[in-house]
Copies of this chain bind each other. A is one copy, B any other.
Amino acid sequence: MEPQLKLIGTVRSPLKSRADCPKQADEGAPDAWIEIAPEFAVALEGLRAGESVLIFTWLHEGRRDTLKVRPRGNMNEPLRGVFATRSPDRPNPIGLHVVRLLEIEPPCRIHVESLEALDGTPVIDIKPSLAPKSGF
């Protein structure tokens, strides 16, 4: 099994390089637009501004051959397996972002709050966030 991902959209953000990116959204990520590929616009129906959604990205600058890292790049930390970290360097560099939907601009642009992803980052899925009791 080595399925191929479909590109469902692209991040449009003021973050232009990995050095600009905060490590997590609560450290000051900017609002961003996501341009959905036209063939998938119909799959947005039912999303509402104000909702919390999960954005799945493909962190295309991540190194897929990295299996251990120092958390947050801190040289005082011991090496740790990437599955015990949120590093973008990992076998499948999937990013997960919980964001509030600010605006839906038909047919295929959505505006989201505080997205820590580079301009041009591929988007691979969007799901509604579940109630807090479910943990995400």
Contacts and interface: CB of A to CB of B under 8 A. Distances in A.
A46 to B, nearest CB: 3
Q: Interface extent on A, as a size class? A: 35 or more
A42 interface: yes
Copies of this chain present in the complex amount to 2
Contacts of A47: 81, 83-84
A28 to B, nearest CB: 14
Interface string A119-136: 000101111111011111
Interface of A: 1-8, 24-26, 40, 42-47, 52, 54, 56, 58, 60, 64, 67-68, 79-86, 90-92, 94, 96, 98, 122, 124-130, 132-136
